[in-house]
Amino acid sequence: MEIKVNRDSLFKSVSKVQSILEKRSNMPILSMILISADDRSVNISATDLEISMQQKIEANVITAGSITISGRKLFEILKESKSNDISIKEKENNWVFISDDKTQYNLACMSAEEYPVFVEPEDVDMVEMECTALADMINKTIYAITLEEAGYKLSGVYTERIQREDAYFLRMVSTDGHRLSLSDKQIDNLDKIKMDKGVMIPKKGLLELNKITSEGEKISIGFKENNCVAKNENSLVVIRLLESKFPDYREVISIDLKNSVSLNRNELFDGMRRMMILSSESSKGVQITLQNNIMELVSINPDLGDVKDHIKIDYPGEMVEMGFNSKYFVDVLQSMESENVVICFNDNSSPCMLRGEDDKGFLGLIMPMRI
Amino acid sequence: MDIEQSKIKTIIHLDMDAFYPSVEILDNPALRGKPVIVGGNSKRGVVSSASYEARKFGVHSAQPIAQAIRLCPQGIFLPVRMARYKELSDQIFAIFHRFTPLVEPLSIDEAFLDITGTERLLGEPVAVAKLIKKTVLAETGLTVSAGVAPSKFVAKIASDIDKPDGLTVVTANGLTAFLDPLPVSRMWGAGKVTQDKLERYNIKSFKELRLFPVKTLERLFGKNGVRMQLMASGIDEREVVTGHEAKSIGHEETFVDDINEIELLERYLLELSMKTAERMRHMGLKAKVIHLKVKYHDFTLVTRSLTLDDYIDDGMVIYMTARDLLGKTEAGVRPVRLIGVSVSGLNTDGLSGQMSLFARDNKKEKARNLNRAIDSVNKRFGEKGIIPGRLLSD
């Protein structure tokens, strides 16, 4: 293989894929980046066996072929280079020669044949969606992911297709057992892809997906066997799905909540942030009291002291006292955009639900804590 | 670390004299003056504790029962009545707590008390130690030995010097005079191997240890060498840690014969997990991190741990986690000499009152109620009132 390529575009691609690389893997090949050139273009690929990412760049291909280079070393070489173009040439016995106007590197590399095989994405049914929609769904669910809870592996976002009348929605749900976040987006032609049951997309994969949503306006996604495939013009991400049970969340989101109160999202966000000043690992609790059109927030830390705040609301109903983890409120409110947030609740032993007019298809559920 | 610079502490170490046999004698005065040996019920069992009369025959704790029978055939062998010992232990600790809230329990019959700065309130440390001894004897009929010193390490040695019913006081000025003549076998953390090694360098007493070049000690024993020299010089900055601030809770078991069978190890693991959970609930604590400790036949020690997402105090959860961790050791391949379970990342019960969204919470709630019920039964009928069925086949 021999190519001549623009340094900036190669550097950009390498930066994107190298975050996947295992820093401490016992398989040396997984610290390598695969560069493969056909007649017109060059693919830069990396994988940790769970996630594979490929970036396509334009290049002057002198000889087609494939090589591997240490991801970190290639990144550093490109970072230190001041030239416009870089030449990469395969030599005998897996040596690779890299040069720009000034510097020549000879690198001992590994055979491209040893590189783990990529899933062929050609025969996957894909559906196109707005990048902003996907990014929004990820940002509104990713914070509630946890590692393990009560026998469930919850280290990903549960993703499924739902149908309401004639419309199809992509749904992402995350939970750590104490709170749950759900985001629905209507997507045209979602019924055309194969997605019979819900799947679990791991957190690391979602972070990579989120990265490529910043590259353009549209992104195509699809599912095949145990993989989620996402691509745009120049990027391809293949994520191995988690094999795990997700709890039956439908029951908890359909709970009948009798009371509701609407208030300014930022005011509540700021109030909860103030509660967190005194919170510690052991006491994140905030006591919310609703009474006489006032929402009072109180947090007590036995080691430090206490904090009290209040927000004017429209709530003439009966007094209600509920305890919550203030961090959970901050996470949800931070991910939302609406000016006002509507909180629905029953009492101090059922969940409260947060929604907002400009956060269509989103709901956040938070279970109380005994304080 | 100059001892003059830090505030001089006053620590009392209190150690009940032959606690289990003493309780047995208390409950049956006919046993007084006889060699009483309390220990495990099975042949595999070991001596838990022996009266001073029995100790004269060479019987000591952790010795196999079979050997104790050989050494002292006329001994009176009694089973462990943990519930009764606990009852008295609770009484004794309640007495300790009248003097200071800074009580660090070491075991059922042993504790450190930090009485620094209580002179005005309670009088001289010696007087305090005397009063504690007198109160314990008056209210329970049992004797306790006390050591008073500026540090935990010295206090512990002091309480042991004049047993039973002893009282030894070591002042800051008398530290060197007290420690120097002690044999290195008294050193905390110096087992047979370390002692032999020290002896090879002609270090037999604390004085020799104190005066030995620290560099050489460090080369020979690593960090432990430096620590031993500090200890021998009477420098021990460890604070008295009360139950509430305990960093970890756990139990371990050393086997008489090394164990190869994974099933047997798992059974011990279950028992240790249940004991640990019971203690956690007793102390009102929950934990997030589960640790497993495995010592192989050749004394190499490995530890494995896992951090859970939630604070727990359920023995089954500890057991399941520890069993998974056991799978990450060479247990079953290499013979195991000791196994231990402990938990850390402790939190008081009430504060982690976060409720769960899913029905499994009800299961947790049920487990909690069940555990409470088991604890109260065990409190009345002894540790083995209710145990998992797997542990019955002994």
Mean pLDDT of chain B: 84
* pLDDT in the model for residue B394: 47
Dihedral sign from CA coordinates of A156, A161, A164, A168: positive
- What mean pLDDT comes out for the span A196-203? 90
Residue A107 has pLDDT above 80, yes or no: yes
Judge: B309–A148 Cβ closer than 8 Å, yes or no. yes
* pLDDT in the model for residue A120: 62
pLDDT tier for residue B218 given thresholds of 50, 70 and 90 = confident
**Do the Cβ atoms of A158 and A198 come closer than 8 Å?**
yes
Top pLDDT among A288 and B6 is at A288
For residue A365, give the nearest of B350, B357, B359 by CB distance.
B357
- CA gap B58, B219 in Å, rounded: 37
A327 touches chain B (CB under 8 A): no
Task: Count other C-beta atoms under 10 Å from residue A209's C-beta.
Answer: 24
Q: Which residues contact B374 (CB under 8 A, 6 or more apart)?
A: B278, B385, B386
Task: Count other C-beta atoms under 10 Å from residue B273's C-beta.
Answer: 27
pLDDT tier for residue B351 given thresholds of 50, 70 and 90 = very low
pLDDT per residue over B150-160, tens digit each?
A: 999 999 999 99
pLDDT per residue over B39-72, tens digit each?
A: 866 556 788 899 999 999 999 888 888 889 899 9
Catalytic residue among B53, B110, B266, B278: B110
Query: Which amino acid makes up residue B125?
Result: P
Residue A69 has pLDDT above 70, yes or no: yes
Strand partners, B105: B111
Which residues from A are below 8 Å from B359, CB to CB?
A: 251
Judge: domain A255-366, CATH 3.10.150.10: yes
Reported as half-sphere exposure (CB side, CA atoms, 13 A), residue B49 has a value of 17
* pLDDT in the model for residue B6: 47
State the ipTM, two decimals: 0.81
Query: Which amino acid makes up residue B25?
Result: I
pLDDT tier for residue A99 given thresholds of 50, 70 and 90 = very high
* pLDDT in the model for residue A272: 95
Q: Based on C-alpha coordinates, what's the Rg of chain A?
A: 25
* pLDDT in the model for residue B246: 61
For residue A149, give the nearest of B309, B347, B363 by CB distance.
B309
* pLDDT in the model for residue A361: 95
Percent helix, strand, coil in chain A, to 5, is 25, 45, 35
A303 touches chain B (CB under 8 A): no
* pLDDT in the model for residue B3: 40
For residue A147, give the nearest of B309, B347, B357 by CB distance.
B309
Report the residue of A155, A175, A203, A282 to disrupt the B interface, i.e. the one with the largest count of B CBs within 10 Å.
A282
The candidate with the shortest Cα–Cα distance to A86, out of A10, A34, A12, is A10
Give the rounded percent of residues in chain B with a pLDDT score beyond 90.
41
Residue A75 has pLDDT above 70, yes or no: yes
Judge: B357–A351 Cβ closer than 8 Å, yes or no. yes
Report the residue of B349, B354, B362 to disrupt the A interface, i.e. the one with the largest count of A CBs within 10 Å.
B354
Decide which of 3.40.50.720, 3.10.150.10, 3.40.1080.10, 3.40.50.10190 is the CATH code for A126-250.
3.10.150.10
* pLDDT in the model for residue B382: 59
- CA gap B247, B251 in Å, rounded: 14
* pLDDT in the model for residue A301: 78
For residue A369, give the nearest of B353, B359, B360 by CB distance.
B353
Judge: A177–B357 Cβ closer than 8 Å, yes or no. yes
Return the residue matching tokens 């590197």: A105
**Do the Cβ atoms of B69 and B77 come closer than 8 Å?**
yes
Task: Count other C-beta atoms under 10 Å from residue A306's C-beta.
Answer: 12
The candidate with the shortest Cα–Cα distance to B9, out of B82, B113, B98, is B113
**Do the Cβ atoms of B160 and B15 come closer than 8 Å?**
yes
Q: Which residues contact A300 (CB under 8 A, 6 or more apart)?
A: A278, A283, A285, A287, A306
Query: HEC profile for chain B?
Result: CCCCCCCCCCEEEEEECCHHHHHHHHHCHHHCCCCEEEECCCCCCEEEEECHHHHCCCCCCCCEHHHHHHHCCCCEEEECCHHHHHHHHHHHHHHHHHHCCCEEEEECCEEEEECCCCHHHHCCHHHHHHHHHHHHHHHHCCCEEEEEECCHHHHHHHHHHCCCCCEEECCCCCHHHHHCCCEHHHCCCCCHHHHHHHHHCCCCEHHHHHHCCHHHHHHHHCHHHHHHHHHHCCCCCCCCCCHHHCCEEEEEEEEEEEECCHHHHHHHHHHHHHHHHHHHHHHCEEEEEEEEEEEECCCCEEEEEEEEEEEECCHHHHHHHHHHHHCCCCECCECEEEEEEEEECCEEHHHHCECCCCCHHHHHHHHHHHHHHHHHHHHHHCCCCCCCHHHHHC
pLDDT per residue over A205-231, tens digit each?
A: 999 999 889 888 999 999 988 899 999
Report the residue of B306, B321, B324, B357 to disrupt the A interface, i.e. the one with the largest count of A CBs within 10 Å.
B357
Which residues from B are below 8 Å from A368, CB to CB?
A: 355
3-state DSSP assignment of residue A206? helix
Judge: B360–A151 Cβ closer than 8 Å, yes or no. yes
Structural domains of chain B, with CATH = 10-171 (3.30.70.270), 180-232 (1.10.150.20), 248-383 (3.30.1490.100)
- B110 counts as catalytic: yes
Mean pLDDT highest for which of B16-30, B41-55, B230-244? B16-30
Q: Which residues contact B80 (CB under 8 A, 6 or more apart)?
A: B20, B38, B39, B40, B41, B48
Mean pLDDT of chain A: 90
* pLDDT in the model for residue B5: 39
For residue B353, give the nearest of A351, A365, A371 by CB distance.
A371
- CA gap A341, A352 in Å, rounded: 12
How many residue contacts between A and B have a Cβ separation below 8 Å? 61
CATH class of A2-114: alpha beta
Structure tokens given for B258? 């090394």
**Do the Cβ atoms of B290 and B319 come closer than 8 Å?**
no
* pLDDT in the model for residue B31: 92
pLDDT tier for residue B372 given thresholds of 50, 70 and 90 = low
* pLDDT in the model for residue B197: 87
Q: What is the DSSP letter of A357?
A: T
pLDDT tier for residue A184 given thresholds of 50, 70 and 90 = very high
The candidate with the shortest Cα–Cα distance to B121, out of B102, B107, B96, B100, is B100
The domain ranges of chain A are 2-114, 126-250, 255-366
Judge: B353–A285 Cβ closer than 8 Å, yes or no. yes
CA distance B220 to chain A (A): 33
pLDDT per residue over B103-130, tens digit each?
A: 888 888 999 999 988 887 788 899 999 9
Q: Which residues contact B174 (CB under 8 A, 6 or more apart)?
A: none
Judge: B356–A177 Cβ closer than 8 Å, yes or no. yes
Judge: A282–B352 Cβ closer than 8 Å, yes or no. yes
* pLDDT in the model for residue B376: 67
Q: Cα-Cα-Cα-Cα dihedral of B212, B218, B220, B221, to 10°?
A: 110
